[in-house]
Amino acid sequence: MTVDATVEYWLAPTDAATAQAKYQLSDTDDIPGPHTHRLFFYKNHARKADFMPTEKLVAALRKIIDQYPIIAGRIVCTEDGALEVHPSAKGVHYRESHTADDIALFEPDWPQSSMRDEWAAVSWLEGEDVAFAVHVVRFANNSGVLVCQSGHHQIADGTGWSMLLRAWAAFARGETPPPPEHNRHLLRLGPTERHLVRKPSADKPSWETIYLKPVGAVSAIILRFSADSIARLKQDAVDSLSEEERRTSFFSTNDVVCSVLWRAFIRSRRLPHEQRLAKQTPRNMRAHLHDVPSHYFGNAIDSPEFVATAGELLDSSLGRVALRHREAVHGKAFADGREWIKHANAEGVEALINRETVWKNGIDFLTTDWSRFGYYKQMDFGDGNPVSSRRLVCKQMSITTIMESPPSTQSGNGRSLDVSVAIDTACYERMIADDELAKYITVIG
């Protein structure tokens, strides 16, 4: 059990003028969220007395705040619905606490069921305007450290926050990482086109309404796809295609993993075949827009919808569903950020960055991919990389998250993947026993 905080800091930019700066957010920043909570577990293998010392973590965090000063502010929605970040007298909250548990309690598999909401740096119900906060938990017997980063989704997407976290670790190692690109106007239409950006829907719910919404019993679990089972899954999906489809088409590991999970999710709930369903998968647009650099700090994700009936998804072969998933996510190309924003705000388009529609349309299944963020190779604060990375699950806004499995659990050729899933407890047994899915997963819990 975690005890009260033993160390606490409030950190602001060192430059006084920067600390008072206001920031106008882009047309792609009003992302549903608000916070994502990333957990990184570090094991003190050698039982070093000064393992990941507070002074080093805080000193490096001060440098990060100077490099990313927007994270010290507070998010404000103006009267016309625009998002801004205003200066805060407090800045970034860093706190530490201790727990009576040894880190070995969570080994070797780090089950989702053992991840605790009290580890969050910002609670689900508080601090909805807070951009960024850190909670460090020190395990008993000097056995290890947990670093929880709570970052507001309207400040940055997963690529942006991961860039910041890697830079924080680099500063702690004594390195100086390159600064990010902060220019939010790269993804903001100019004055003559402001009228094209849709306003938030009038019935947009508050975060408090979302988080206090009653939900039934929910089971949050990890499903592990070993490297060998992923290879079998992809081959089975390929074998289900025609010869012509095999020769001319392509789908990724993400496409087929998402497809097999969604099909099992549908069957577990016994949905009628005629029911219309929609799935979203975020797509990092930095690699697809010539005017948005790879080191852009902000939100640069699209999340196209894959729409089909339950019958279409279940009666098609797994390979064809994976191909349709690929086409839905990657089928559209845009010349630049301006063209992307105008398309997303067009009449009848349902898009993650369309502030009018994103709150109105129910999404049946939403997946996000954290497996390419390099957490096990680029998050060393000077005492080694994390031995596990996990997330906290909001049961009211269930998102299926694909993560790289901890290094100690990797086997075979290729990467193993751990998928964090939240499902109604009433459907849990049917999902993990699904005839198709069960062939490829190990249930971690």
Tens-digit pLDDT profile for residues 367-402: 999 999 999 999 999 999 999 999 998 876 678 999
| pTM, full prediction | 0.95
CATH number of the 211-443 domain: 3.30.559.10
Joined together, the tokens standing for residue 351 give 């898009």
Q: Is the pLDDT of residue 206 over 80?
A: no
- CATH class for the domain made up of 2-205: alpha beta
Give 387's DSSP letter.
S
Give, in order, the Cα–Cα distances in Å from 328 to each of 230, 279, 310, 321.
Answer: 22, 10, 16, 10
Residue-wise pLDDT for 11-37, tens only, equals 999 999 999 999 999 999 988 767 899
Residue-wise pLDDT for 332-368, tens only, equals 999 999 999 999 998 878 777 877 765 555 678 889 9
Q: Is the pLDDT of residue 161 over 60?
A: yes
Report yes or no: 43 and 146 within 8 Å, Cβ to Cβ. no
pLDDT at 348: 79
Name the pLDDT band for 123 (thresholds 50, 70, 90): confident
More confident residue, 412 or 21: 21
- Comparing 2-205 with 211-443, is the CATH topology the same? yes
Distance CA 80, CA 269 (A): 41
Sheet holding 92-99, edge to edge: 2-11, 92-99, 132-138, 144-152, 35-43, 388-391
Name the pLDDT band for 327 (thresholds 50, 70, 90): very high
Q: Where are the domains of the chain?
A: 2-205, 211-443
Beta strands in 382-440 (DSSP E): 388-391, 400-404, 417-424
pLDDT at 5: 67
Q: In the predicted model, what is the mean pLDDT of residues 298-313? A: 93
pLDDT at 212: 54
